[in-house]
Amino acid sequence: MQMVSLSPQKLRIAIAILTLFAASCAAVYSADSDEPAPASAQDSVSTEHSHSKHHSTHADGSKREREHDQRALAERPPLKATVTAEAKPDPVREQIDQVILQALDNHEELKVYSARVSKYKRPHQRLIALTRDALNYVMFYRGESASNEARKVILEEQKDSKSDASAQLHRQKVIDQTELAVTTNMMQIASGLGSTDPDVRQQEISQALSGLKPLIGEEAAQQALARMEEWAKGLQLDEGAYHQRPWSIADKRTKLQQIAQGTLSTDPVIDEIKESVHKFYHSKLYLTASRTVHSALGIGCLTPTIVGTACQVVQFGIVMATGGSEEDKLLREIYLDKRLEDRSQVINEKAHMALDNYQLSVLQKNPILLSFCESMIRQMAGPDGAQAILSNAPTTDASIPQKDAKSSLNTDTKPESPTHALTEREPADSTL
């Protein structure tokens, strides 16, 4: 390829085009500056689940923290389900969600990642990221860093978060693992409460409390146990629930697929990730036009005249206006794919846990565990899906005194994941 020297005229044109690009970026920055800033690092955990407790004794500091909480709430995605006072509360769901909230409030690592997500969403950080993408497209200063970063993401070797996509991935991993750990320990408490052997009962409850204490503290763990014991007292289970035909391997696989498909199609976290991925979708007409334009501009860039310089500048502008280079887009899609994979794995583990322990509770005649698992299946598969899965199993009637139940999500709507279902509570309220 013949090297093209920049004449003063070409240089002036290139500088003018780049100046226009910088001016447009500045305009975008000025427009974004009018929007509320994200929450600070101290309140960053509220970006995903709840608001951090405020300990500042200064009036100005408390005012800033309240403003940050309001901004974080404004950035939250809306609930997929409706809140209704008439709907019958799901006590199992309320207790699990409450413990998850407490665990996330105490999770220091989550606060760090949430602070980084808030940081990368600020207008000046977006402008910095846009400038880096532009420089990399022109100068290719990153070299082979993109492929190396993709390798770390795929093999889960990346521990730091240097971009919004990586910070969101690490934050979601922390949230999902916390949700899974809380659900496991709460289910074990239910198993222990329903056991007829005093030694097994004490052993299982002690093991569950040992798993909850690092997450929410000893006092909160004891309170969670007390709420479970109160819920267990109100259970009414027909003895015919234990006279079920055991599921065959094919039956269990079918039921597992029903739960997984129902949850994957309604889970708000999955919907949010899919929505981000769909932004990369383009019609065939758009793709054809894009290939034609870039091919024409590529050929024009080879001409040793001012046309070549103009084609290069125009091609640069088109690439940056459409979201950056394909290399950057593919890297962002890899992060989204890992988030989708991580969330799908958590849903699959919860589905296995609910079905396996449901059958175990039938064999052991454990009414508390059976009701707990039935409630989980109903949450994940929805009322219609749960009816199909448990069609040969009598349902239980579990309730909590109305004074302890404030409000709940309507069970006739989409089942919410704890990742999103608990986001509209007030800063000082820890219940739904």
Which residues contact residue 50 at a Cβ distance below 8 angstroms, ignoring those fewer than 6 apart? 101, 104, 105, 422, 423, 425, 430
pLDDT at residue 7 in the model: 54
Q: What is the band of 159 on the pLDDT scale with cuts at 50, 70, 90?
A: confident
Reported as a pLDDT band with limits 50, 70 and 90, residue 411 is very low
pLDDT reported for residue 391: 74
Please tell me the distance from the alpha carbon of residue 36 to that of residue 64, in angstroms, as a whole number.
Answer: 12
Among 242, 223, 188, 281, residue whose Cα is nearest residue 392: 242
Residue 78 has pLDDT above 90, yes or no: no
Residue 61 pLDDT level (bands cut at 50, 70, 90): very low
Please report the pLDDT score of residue 396 as a whole number: 47
pLDDT computed for residue 88 by the predictor: 65
Of the candidates 329, 395, 280, 313, which has an alpha carbon nearest to the alpha carbon of residue 163? 329
By three-state DSSP, how is residue 392 classified? coil
Rounded average pLDDT over 22-44 = 44
> Could you tell me which of 338, 429, 422, 407 has the C-alpha nearest to residue 48?
422
Q: Cα dihedral angle (380, 385, 388, 389), rounded to 10 degrees?
A: -20
pLDDT above 50: residue 49: no
Pick 306 or 427 by higher pLDDT. Answer: 306
Dist. CA 199–CA 241, nearest whole Å: 25
- Which of 28-37, 146-155, 223-232, 399-408 bottoms out in mean pLDDT, i.e. has the lowest? 399-408
User: Residue 324: left (phi > 0), alpha (psi -120 to 50), or beta?
Assistant: left
pLDDT higher than threshold 70 for residue 54: no
Q: Give the integer Cα–Cα distance in Å for 98 and 400.
A: 15
DSSP 3-state of 81:
coil
The mean pLDDT value of the chain amounts to 76
**Residue 291 to residue 288: CA distance in whole angstroms:** 5
Kindly indicate the confidence band of residue 22, based on its pLDDT and cuts at 50, 70 and 90: low
Q: What is the pLDDT of residue 355?
A: 92
Local structure of 409: helix, strand or coil: strand
Mean pLDDT confidence for 239-256: 83
